Structure 1
Amino acid sequence: MCTLHRTCHLRRERLQNGRSKEHRLLMGQPDIKREPVKTSIQESEAFLPQHTPEERYRMQSKPLGICLIIDCVGNDTGILRDTFTSLGYEVQSFLYLSVGDIINVLRKVARMPQHQDYDSFVCVLVSRGGSQSVFGVDETHSGFPLDHIRRLFMGDVCPSLLGKPKIFFIQNYVVSEGQLEDSSFLEVDGPSVKNVESKARQPGACTIHREADFFWSLCKADVSLLKRPSTSSSLYLQCLCEKLGRERKCSLLELHIELNSKVYDWNSRVSAKKRYYVWLQHTLRKKLILSCT
């Protein structure tokens, strides 16, 4: 067979095979070589998991909550009051308290019924103290443990704040151990923190842990800073107020990272006695922005 005839023959075979395949499809016969139909991404996107926005704490109440300011040094009350008032908080400030008065104020505020109508709580405490306690204005240097402050607002002791953010900013000017006349913790009249907790703790169906939703920012600095006339205010609190005032849409965790950066920059340029040391502990379960706007 010549080349021309062979080519024509092959073309006829291909045409017949194509018609035979088409005939089988029209007659409903399966075609074993048929590939499954592939759906494009756009056509199937309805079945993909949808993006879930990051959950945030509700911050809509008016006011947003109580902001308790206890300033036993007296240098930062004004700027703190202005900052948290502008954020939408009801500010209650106290100056130059003894340790006993600090405890009484904290307990009184923890029992306030208004918390049930508010979305958050803020406490700012400025005081001289030891490494793990605050002294207030007491010259005996007896201290109240910092851990006990937090316990007064835990979910089982203060149920009206359960599930809501509880934010603490503490500036502690630490007195060296050699300067302490009496380093023992102060015992105050009335039930101890442990007794209050044991009475308040009741079994229930609530699944939120008693220590959840805390933001605990603690800054320590040497007490000698208070003796320098050129450094009347706390660098830590100044940076905090500046950030809260300018960056209201920023989450508190992101804001605190920027605050740390400023403090580290300051520390790199000054002597050890002038440095600030910031510690952050938190048990937040959601994104927290300290503003209702």
Structure 2
Amino acid sequence: KGGDDVGGDDVVLKYDVNKTGEHGVVLIINNVHFEGKDIGDRKSSYEDAKRLKEVFEGLRYQVVVQEDLKAEEIKTRIRGIAAGLVTKKHDSFICCILSRGNSEGIEGVDHKTVTVPELANIVNSKECSALHGKPKIFLFQGDRGTEIPEPSTVDSSMPWPPKEEEKVADGTARALPPEADFLFGFSTSDGNVAARGVYSGSQYIKAVCEFLDPKYSSRLSLDELLLLVNDKISGNPIDFKLLPPYKYHQMPEIRSTLRKKFYFKK
């Protein structure tokens, strides 16, 4: 047989994890109060931000929380944290954005949209060179549209394949494509709403924090943890108070160009 076949258990590629336990920086952007009299506040989002802060501090990340940012301020804060606080000793950068959203991206409190490609370009810039080749993880809690699909509707997540890696001219080193080493976790699939309790926060962030607990995160990789989140959320329909009453099966989505397994602890 040819030597190109590699069994799943023969080679396990893992991102390097800082042995000191200082894994990196988590930026939590929590947009609660939006401009405009007819726009309700997202007060239960404080619960989501609190849960995320506690779980990531428990995983020995430096956590920075920012609230009520306009679209341009979102980009400025991400650039400042990723370029200023993240150093080469860190193994990853995580950004959690809790806000309103639409099919194009996430919204600032001024209702202007920041797209996912814009966020990726920021942390791929020369200013953020310490993150080259390291996981850059974004978690979004927010709508991606206005649809509430029927339970029988098949999830139509958009594929996002990375470009093939290329070798430099002398063949001795790899030039990573700009799309490499990203993971985007969305609370709902493209075009659909993301449910959030009036007082209790969102079921997506609850599930993320549940599975980031060391009971799971000490032995499972990030992609495996988010699969557990997907399974839990999709299997627990939400009662929507519509006429007639409606059970909404929310389906989170994962887009990943990670090249290796990422663990929060070795």
Fold agreement, TM-score > 0.5 = yes
Q: Sort the Cα spacing of 1:212 and 1:122 in 2 relative to 1 into closer, same or farther, 3 A.
A: same
Q: Sort the Cα spacing of 1:116 and 1:91 in 2 relative to 1 into closer, same or farther, 3 A.
A: same
Structure whose alpha-carbon radius of gyration is higher: 1
State how far apart, in whole Å, the 2-side matches of 1:160 and 1:262 are: 35
2:184 to 192, 200, 216: 216
Corresponding residue of 1:280: 254
- 1:30-56: CA deviations, max 9, x gaps? xxxxxxxxxxxxxxxxxxxxx855121
Corresponding residue of 1:59: 17
1:131 aligns to 2:103 (yes or no): yes
CA contact (8 A) 1:156 1:210 kept: no
CA contact (8 A) 2:82 2:93 kept: no
SS for the counterpart of 1:289 is coil
Q: Sort the Cα spacing of 1:147 and 1:257 in 2 relative to 1 into closer, same or farther, 3 A.
A: same
One-letter amino acid of the structure 2 residue matched with residue 229 of structure 1: V
In structure 2, runs of 5+ residues without a counterpart are 1-8, 33-44, 148-168, 241-245
Please state which structure has a larger fraction of its residues in helix.
1
One-letter amino acid of the structure 2 residue matched with residue 56 of structure 1: K
Corresponding residue of 1:289: 263
Q: Sort the Cα spacing of 1:273 and 1:136 in 2 relative to 1 into closer, same or farther, 3 A.
A: farther
The structural deviation recorded for 1:135 is: 1.7
TM-score (norm 1): 0.64
CA contact (8 A) 1:121 1:166 kept: yes
One-letter amino acid of the structure 2 residue matched with residue 216 of structure 1: F
State how far apart, in whole Å, the 2-side matches of 1:135 and 1:146 are: 11
Q: Sort the Cα spacing of 1:256 and 1:270 in 2 relative to 1 into closer, same or farther, 3 A.
A: same
- 1:98-130: CA deviations, max 9, x gaps? 222212101212322632121111111111022
TM-score (norm 2): 0.70
The structural deviation recorded for 1:279 is: 1.5
Q: Sort the Cα spacing of 1:176 and 1:254 in 2 relative to 1 into closer, same or farther, 3 A.
A: closer
State how far apart, in whole Å, the 1-side matches of 2:210 and 2:187 are: 16
SS for the counterpart of 2:186 is strand
CA contact (8 A) 2:234 2:252 kept: no
Q: Sort the Cα spacing of 1:127 and 1:55 in 2 relative to 1 into closer, same or farther, 3 A.
A: same
Identity of counterpart residues, as a percentage?
29
CA contact (8 A) 1:62 1:118 kept: no
CA contact (8 A) 2:70 2:112 kept: no
In structure 1, runs of 5+ residues without a counterpart are 1-50, 178-202
Matches within 5 A, 1:49-198: 52-60=10-18, 61-73=20-32, 74-75=45-46, 76-112=48-84, 114-138=86-110, 141-154=111-124, 158-174=128-144, 176=146
RMSD (Å), alpha carbons: 2.8
Relative contact order higher in (CA < 8 Å, ≥ 6 apart): 2
- 1:36-86: CA deviations, max 9, x gaps? xxxxxxxxxxxxxxx855121111244100111111133311110000011
